[in-house]
Amino acid sequence: MRINILLIFIYTFTLGSCYAQDKEEFRIRTGAEMLIEDHLEELAGKRVGLVMNPTARIGNIHVLDTLLALDVNVKALYAPEHGFRGDFADGEVIEGGIDQASGLPVYSLYGSTKKPTKEMLKDVDILLFDMQDVGARFYTYNSTMKYIIEAATEFDKEVWILDRPNPAGGNYISGWVLEDEYRSFVGSYPIPVAHGMTLGELALMAKGEGWLEVDKEPKLKVITMKGWRRSMKWPETGLPWIPPSPNLPTFEHAYVYLGTCFFEGVNISEGRGTDNPFLMIGSPAELERKPEDIFLNSIQFLEDKYHIEIDTVSFTTRSIPGKAVNPKFEGELIHGVALSITPEFNQPVEFGLDLLSAFAFNISFDEYKLEVRDHLYLLSGTEKIDDVIIRPYNWGAQTGWGASFTKFEITRGKYLLYY
């Protein structure tokens, strides 16, 4: 392959400056980087499609630009939720078209078609999947991955997963396992809310456990990372945070999202339409001040239990192009809390459920679920979440996640790639 020396020099310099740490004693190499280092020749003579978004970077350069500089025969781009370049809000329909920077066709995987068609795959032999996950079952990139593998299998294509870290770490598992009744695009696998796996590991588990709707063996390959350990949360990786979606601008937002995303399914604002989505929670209803000042006491309880800082605030949501379209209670004064995690904060799912319970006990809302096919149940994967809300002042009542959770913990061990 002919190599553009100038761009490769830029890539190498950027990579080194971005990831360099004291004496280069430790540096994580993502699956994308390992693709360039160890697997590039395997792409020779192949027509390549890219399922990516802005998080597909090596240093400061998008993987697309790196591959084009290396004369890889990239033929098509596939856009998940938020788009290939990441300029669409949550839930906003993605349209296909042409990528202006490269001139390549872009096929939407977040609209009327979520699973690639034969026509969309006709010009490719290999699909490279590279997107930064957040470690939550309801984050849609893992569903897109499932559809990609299924379509590729049907039309005899290969899928390579370029692996990246789970920001919440590889040991944190929490939440109910998805029940079959609540399978959806925000719940494609029978796994807990926080699954503690990388997307590469999850892909292997989906294949090995028969969770894919295929009639033959998928041609699946995981390009593994080097240097990542399961005990690492994102700040320990030394990698730059590239927002996987417009409403998760920092790791702090993405980490607490594992629990505060449940507020999407009730008539309480999860903070969309502010500068701190998922870190600002509230309702137009006044927080009740009972004689014992129970809400303030609950804040103190949650701060002590979870090592998180909670302040009472009032805020107003607004439409933000590319980030929040018609957020809840737009333009109304909302009363609630602002959250700030500490280094010791390590149970985001449990915290989110306890905070939901606290709000449910301190404000009156008869129709608390939003009726979008019971979105709250789709997020939790079960109706058991009602117990958290209906039982007043029920913090910490959840002592276990059931037999299916224990089975998952044991079974996933067969598919772990990192230790």
* Among the ranges given (111-115, 149-153, 391-395), the one the predictor scored with the smallest mean pLDDT: 391-395
Burial of residue 383 (CB within 10 Å: 0-12, 13-18, 19+) is middle
pLDDT of residue 95: 56
pLDDT of residue 86: 54
Please say if the pLDDT value at position 81 is more than 90. no
Given this model, what pLDDT does residue 259 score? 98
Spatial neighbors of 33 by CB under 8 A, at least 6 apart, are 15, 58
Beta carbons within 8 Å of 184's beta carbon, 6+ residues apart: 373, 378
**φ/ψ of residue 370, rounded to 5:** -85, 130
Cα separation, 284 vs 157, whole angstroms: 51
Long-range CB pairs of 250-254, under 8 A, 24+ apart, other chains included: 251/167, 252/279, 252/340, 252/341, 253/277, 253/278, 253/279, 254/134, 254/167
Neighbours of 240 (CB within 10 A): 10
SS3 sequence, 101-150? CCCCEEEECCCCCCCCCHHHHCCCCEEEEECCCCCECCCCHHHHHHHHHH
| Mean pLDDT confidence for 166-173 | 98
Single-letter amino acid code for the residue at 117:
T
Q: Which of 85-99, 195-209, 304-318, 399-413 has the lowest mean pLDDT?
A: 85-99
pLDDT at 406: 96
Predicted confidence band of residue 359 (pLDDT cuts 50, 70, 90): confident
The number of beta carbons lying within 10 Å of the beta carbon of residue 250 is 12
Task: Confirm whether pTM is higher than 0.85.
Answer: yes
pLDDT band at 376 (very low <50, low <70, confident <90, very high): very high
pLDDT of residue 366: 57
